[in-house]
Amino acid sequence: MENKLIKVGEIVSTHGIKGSIKFSLSDKYDYDKSLINETFFIKDRVSFLPYKIENVYFKNTNCIIKFTSINSINEACNLVKKEVFINKDKKLFINTINYNDYSVKFNDINYSVLDVIDNGVYWLVKINYIDTIVWIPLVDKYVEFINDDEQLIKAINIDSLRV
């Protein structure tokens, strides 16, 4: 199941006596849509437990979330310091990563990213490949993996993108 999820943050503390929690969103994301009725998956040792969101509001810079199945501070305490994941297919958050700082590796050669576009469905990165400019969609067909720590995009099948 872990390969179908992405980590988006963690639960930092409880809030109040009715089971609400404070959620800390990862720096590489920003809020895009309402989270009400969405499902967070919370990592509990080796499994991922689903929690449906009943209510969300912001107090100062804190995101306060109430899950449907958590109704007391004692239940909420069990979630503190746990990692929070969402389904990869859900577009609940905006990716704030700047791919301009990344490089693209293809056939053991690194190419600098010249430009980046978010077309609303997926990101595209522009590189100077051999003798032409190529826009690479950051989708499974053209990307083997993206390593955010090394700021590296491992590309595949980009010969078909040359015009």
pLDDT, residue 1, reads: 63
Look at residue 130 and tell me whether its pLDDT is greater than 80: yes
Q: Are 110 and 103 in contact (CB under 8 A)?
A: yes
Question: Rounded mean pLDDT of the chain?
Answer: 90
Type of residue found at 31:
Y
What CATH number is given for 2-95 in this structure? 2.40.30.60
Label residue 16 left, alpha or beta by phi (over 0 means left) and psi (-120 to 50 means alpha).
Answer: left
Tell me how far apart the terminal alpha carbons of the chain are, to the nearest angstrom.
Answer: 38
Q: In this predicted structure, what is the pLDDT of residue 102?
A: 93
Residue 156 pLDDT exceeds 80: yes
Residue pair 160/106 in contact (Cβ under 8 Å)? The answer is no
Assess whether pLDDT exceeds 70 at residue 2: no
Domain boundaries, the chain: 2-95, 99-161
The domain over range 99-161 is classified in CATH as 2.60.120: no
Per-residue pLDDT band for 46 (boundaries 50, 70, 90) equals confident
Q: Is-above-0.95 flag for pTM?
A: no
